[in-house]
């Protein structure tokens, strides 16, 4: 691990004072409240360049996660800082309510219509993925009320989907650890099984079986009560689950059969992460609503949104009076200016094509991990990878949760200067910036190999 004091520029005293202030005053998102000091690595990141992060002590890390699957164009992009400064100087913020608008938001909405597949042509802006999910569910319900079917209120998502942690998005999320303590959940959310080919134990095609399992949930609720299906094209936080190739085409058919809206949550997958601009394009499936966030600005400013097809928008336009939904920061001009500039970087540098190429390299290299004793599955699409750890390869038996296998690998890798992310179900996620080099991918895989081997040795393996 390289130590670079001049980059960090903090004395040991300053660093330790900041760490103390952090522990005392900051309630971290998804923080570990119970852990005694020392069990949670406290990292204060001070700078980034390309795919590399530097912490307050000058230690450098290859960021195998693009922070939270979002810094796709990499760190240190001065043109994005310049776009923000220019817009802030001209007009940092102005209302977007009613008929008020700003140039960057208008231009970004038009640009998104050009990039998004099919007739997804109209954008509602928000700031984060959770807000955008809540918005999509509200739009789906409003759509059916306007179409004279007010009883269509249920939203079907899948186990292991992650849609964010606002109230409705928490309820749509299919990961019970995000529900615990915050119940009751919002009414009207149903969960179908995750389309996980590795864990599929049935007969025949897993894609068809999982689509049927979702149809069963719709039938049990009564199709006339269901407004929409929301799905991540590749489940991210739930374990990097790439569905079987026939799953989404079949899911689209289920939606068409019962007239349900299909909402694609492309918060992680949108804007190139899987090697296509949007992941549903891999399977030629068209959504009625599409949620985006993260990659639209590469995380340089918070921005998200929901795209609607022309048809859905036409129905909304029949509303009497105002569209009674909105956030202060919907269509924030500075965030939109940065979004526009970020999309230009993706186009100018052909970074979506690069994500496809480097992604193929990453997927090939990750396969090397399969030879390790505790690696059960290695999967992914483009620059999105997942490595599932198991205590028994043959039976696919999981480790006991208390053993924290993925967490241990994460800590070992961190110690060796590589950032990955441990997910529930003992999956290690990899989702680097699109500008990652092949050498950096080699480093990630090499470090993971060593870390998994070492953790495998620590966890007493059955003979
Ligand atoms: C697929 C998906 N949807 C929604 C969200 C929520 O986004 P946010 O944290 O910006 O609210 C996330 C965040 O990781 C996500 O991965």
Which tens digit of pLDDT belongs to each residue from 60-96? 999 999 999 999 999 999 999 999 999 999 999 999 9
Structure-token pair, residue 414: 């961190």
Could you write out the DSSP letters of every residue in 247-294? HHHHHHHHHHHHTPEEEEE-TTTTTTTTSSSSGGGGGT---SEEEE-G
Give me the mean pLDDT over the 422-435 stretch. Answer: 97
pLDDT-derived band at 164, boundaries 50, 70, 90? very high
Q: What integer pLDDT is reported at residue 9 of this predicted model?
A: 85
Give me the mean pLDDT over the 417-433 stretch. Answer: 97
The β-bridge relationship of strands 120-126 and 154-158 is unpaired
Question: Looking at ligand 1, which atom is closest to the CA of residue 237?
Answer: 16
Distance 163 CA to ligand 1 centre (A): 5
The reply to whether ligand 1 has any atom less than 6 angstroms from the CB of 236 is yes
Give me the mean pLDDT over the 127-156 stretch. Answer: 98
Euclidean distance between the first and the last CA atom of the chain, given in angstroms as a whole number:
35
pLDDT higher than threshold 50 for residue 3:
no
Q: What integer pLDDT is reported at residue 32 of this predicted model?
A: 78
Instruction: Give tens-digit pLDDT for 356-366.
Output: 999 999 999 99
Q: What integer pLDDT is reported at residue 325 of this predicted model?
A: 97
The reply to whether ligand 1 has any atom less than 6 angstroms from the CB of 74 is no
Q: What integer pLDDT is reported at residue 1 of this predicted model?
A: 46
Q: What percent of the chain is predicted at pLDDT more than 70?
A: 96
The chain-wide mean pLDDT, for the chain, equals 95
pLDDT higher than threshold 60 for residue 55:
yes
Write the residue with the smallest CA distance to atom 3 of ligand 1.
Answer: 163
pTM: 0.97
> From CA 429, how far away is CA 422, in angstroms rounded?
6
The reply to whether ligand 1 has any atom less than 6 angstroms from the CB of 129 is yes
Q: What integer pLDDT is reported at residue 62 of this predicted model?
A: 98
Write the residue with the smallest CA distance to atom 1 of ligand 1.
Answer: 267
Give me the mean pLDDT over the 128-157 stretch. Answer: 98
Q: What integer pLDDT is reported at residue 42 of this predicted model?
A: 85
- The answer to whether the CB of 325 falls within 8 A of the CB of 331 is no
More confidently predicted of 37 and 13: 13
The reply to whether ligand 1 has any atom less than 6 angstroms from the CB of 305 is no
Residues 6+ apart with CB under 8 A from 32: 39, 40
> From CA 215, how far away is CA 358, in angstroms rounded?
36
Instruction: Give tens-digit pLDDT for 399-414.
Output: 998 899 999 999 999 9
Region of residue 222 (left: phi > 0; alpha: psi -120 to 50; beta: else): left
The reply to whether ligand 1 has any atom less than 6 angstroms from the CB of 293 is yes
Could you write out the DSSP letters of every residue in 39-73? SS----EEEEEBTEEEETTSBEEEETTHHHHT-TT
- φ/ψ of 287, rounded to 5, equals -90, 160
Closest CA to 213 of 235, 190, 193: 193
Instruction: Give tens-digit pLDDT for 264-310.
Output: 999 999 999 999 999 999 999 999 999 999 999 999 999 999 999 99
Q: Name which CATH class applies to 78-348.
A: alpha beta
CA dist 207 → 198, 242, 248, 278, 449 (Å):
12, 11, 8, 20, 31
Distance 267 CA to ligand 1 centre (A): 6
Pocket test for ligand 1, best of 66, 67, 125, 129 (most atoms within 8 A of CB): 129
Write the residue with the smallest CA distance to atom 14 of ligand 1.
Answer: 164
Question: Looking at ligand 1, which atom is closest to the CA of residue 165?
Answer: 11
Q: Which residues of 340-350 are buried (b: 16+ CB within 10 A; e: fewer)?
A: bbbbebbeeee
DSSP letter at 185 equals P
**Does domain 5-73+351-458 match CATH 3.40.50.300?**
no
Instruction: Give tens-digit pLDDT for 231-269.
Output: 999 999 999 999 999 999 999 999 999 999 999 999 999
> From CA 34, how far away is CA 389, in angstroms rounded?
25
Question: Looking at ligand 1, which atom is closest to the CA of residue 127?
Answer: 10
pLDDT higher than threshold 70 for residue 4:
no
Q: What integer pLDDT is reported at residue 425 of this predicted model?
A: 93
Q: What integer pLDDT is reported at residue 241 of this predicted model?
A: 98
Least confident of 35-44, 294-303, 374-383, 443-452: 35-44
* For the chain, domain boundaries: 5-73+351-458, 78-348
Question: Looking at ligand 1, which atom is closest to the CA of residue 269?
Answer: 1
- The answer to whether the CB of 394 falls within 8 A of the CB of 421 is no
CA-CA-CA-CA torsion sign (321, 325, 328, 332): negative
Hey, is 379 helix, strand or coil? strand
Q: What integer pLDDT is reported at residue 35 of this predicted model?
A: 62
Largest Cα span, the chain: 70
The reply to whether ligand 1 has any atom less than 6 angstroms from the CB of 130 is yes
Question: Looking at ligand 1, which atom is closest to the CA of residue 68?
Answer: 14
Structure-token pair, residue 239: 């374990």
Question: Looking at ligand 1, which atom is closest to the CA of residue 235?
Answer: 1
Number of CB atoms found within 10 A of residue 199's CB: 18
pLDDT-derived band at 5, boundaries 50, 70, 90? very low
Pocket test for ligand 1, best of 165, 173, 293 (most atoms within 8 A of CB): 293
- The answer to whether the CB of 69 falls within 8 A of the CB of 294 is yes
């Amino acid at each position: 691990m390289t130590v670079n004091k001049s980059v960090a520029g903090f004395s040991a005293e300053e660093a330790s004072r900041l760490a103390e202030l952090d522990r005392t005053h900051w309630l971290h998102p998804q923080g570990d409240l119970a852990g005694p000091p020392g069990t949670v690595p406290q990292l204060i990141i001070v700078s980034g360049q390309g795919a590399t992060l530097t912490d307050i002590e000058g230690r450098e890390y290859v960021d195998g996660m693009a922070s939270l699957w979002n810094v796709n164009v990499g760190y240190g992009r001065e043109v994005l800082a310049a776009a923000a400064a220019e817009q802030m100087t001209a007009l940092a913020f102005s209302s977007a309510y009613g008929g008020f608008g700003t140039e960057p938001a208008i231009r970004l909405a038009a640009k998104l219509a050009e990039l998004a597949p099919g007739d997804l042509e109209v954008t509602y802006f928000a700031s984060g993925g959770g807000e955008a999910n809540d918005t999509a569910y509200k739009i789906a319900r409003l759509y059916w009320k306007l179409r004279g079917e007010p009883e269509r209120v249920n939203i079907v998502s899948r186990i292991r989907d992650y849609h964010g942690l606002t109230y409705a998005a928490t309820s749509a999320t299919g990961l019970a650890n995000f529900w615990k303590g915050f119940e009751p959940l919002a009414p009207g959310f149903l969960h179908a099984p995750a389309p996980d080919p590795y864990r599929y134990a049935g007969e025949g095609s897993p894609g068809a079986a999982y689509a049927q399992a979702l149809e069963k949930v719709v039938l049990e609720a009564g199709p006339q009560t269901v407004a929409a299906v929301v799905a991540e094209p590749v489940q991210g936080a739930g374990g990097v689950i790439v569905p079987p190739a026939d799953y989404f085409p079949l899911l689209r058919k289920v939606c068409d059969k019962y007239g349900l809206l299909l909402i694609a949550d492309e918060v992680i997958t949108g804007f190139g992460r899987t090697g296509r601009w949007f992941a549903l394009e891999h399977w030629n499936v068209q959504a009625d609503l599409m949620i985006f966030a993260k990659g639209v600005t590469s995380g340089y400013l918070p921005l998200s949104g929901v795209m609607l097809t022309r048809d859905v928008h036409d129905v909304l336009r029949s509303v009497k009076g105002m569209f009674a939904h909105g956030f202060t920061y919907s269509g924030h001009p500075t965030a939109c200016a940065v979004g526009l500039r970020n999309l230009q970087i993706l186009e100018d540098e052909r970074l979506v094509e690069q994500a496809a190429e480097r992604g193929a390299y990453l997927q090939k290299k990750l396969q090397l991990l399969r030879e390790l004793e505790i690696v059960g599955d290695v999967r992914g699409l483009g620059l999105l990878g997942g490595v599932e750890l198991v205590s028994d390869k043959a039976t696919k038996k999981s480790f006991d949760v208390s053993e924290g296998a993925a967490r241990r690998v994460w800590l070992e890798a961190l110690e060796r200067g590589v950032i990955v992310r441990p997910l529930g179900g003992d999956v290690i996620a990899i989702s680097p910036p699109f500008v990652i080099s092949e050498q950096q991918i080699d480093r990630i895989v090499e470090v993971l190999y060593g870390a998994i081997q070492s953790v495998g040795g620590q966890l007493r393996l059955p003979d």
